[in-house]
Amino acid sequence: MEIRNATPEDIDAILRLHRRYQVDTIADEDRSDGFVTTDFTPELLRELIESDEGFFVAAREDGEIAGYVMAASWKFCSRWPIFARMIEDLPSLSYREIPLSTENSYQYGPVCIDKPYRGSGLLEDIFEFAREAMEPRYPVLVTFVNKANPRSYAAHSRKLGLDTITEFAFNGNEYYEMACLTGEDLEKRLESQTLGSN
């Protein structure tokens, strides 16, 4: 398994994985194990891969994609209404006493791990790879998780060490908004959470 920046040649394989777990196309029996709400097109993925350099994959030897994570500027993400809503609220939020802005934070997610690889450590590995790649540009990572997706919330809070900074409603759904410092690795984030709960 190779974790790396995505290339345009990965687009078809990314979309095969994405459609398996996207909320509009996921099988009913898989929905309780988590889902992705953001939708992608080949053109959008190509733009992200070629310009924003914020799409990362876990590629198998056969060329299939076992997992991916998107990480992009707020400018890129603003085309989706939910991200535009988050951008509006950003100036009223802070994380670890850092007032948040579109300049000092970026949107992480969606992330998708193929079912056979869940619980294997792949989520943590691809998250850390993406975080390290984005660290030189942004000190804070921000994301959201649908409250109807408790598996994803548990993964982001317990496995990845993200903190909930606020909650918001959009389009009839309720969301947790979460963040972490890009300069803190997984061990440091989990240690901070442990200290914070004592």
Q: What is the pTM of this model?
A: 0.85
Element (H, E) at 65: strand 65-72
Position 176 confidence tier, pLDDT thresholds 50, 70, 90: very high
Going along the chain from its start, the domains and CATH numbers come out as: 2-197 (3.40.630.30)
Compute φ and ψ for 30, nearest 5 degrees.
-95, -15
What does pLDDT average to over the chain? 87
120-154: buried (b, 16+ CB within 10 Å) or exposed (e) per residue? eebbeebbebbbebbeeebbbbbbbbbeebeebbe
- 81 CB-near residues (< 8 Å, 6+ apart): 170, 171
pLDDT of residue 24: 65
Q: How far is 45 from 30, CA to CA, in rounded Å?
A: 24
The residue-averaged pLDDT of 135-159 equals 91
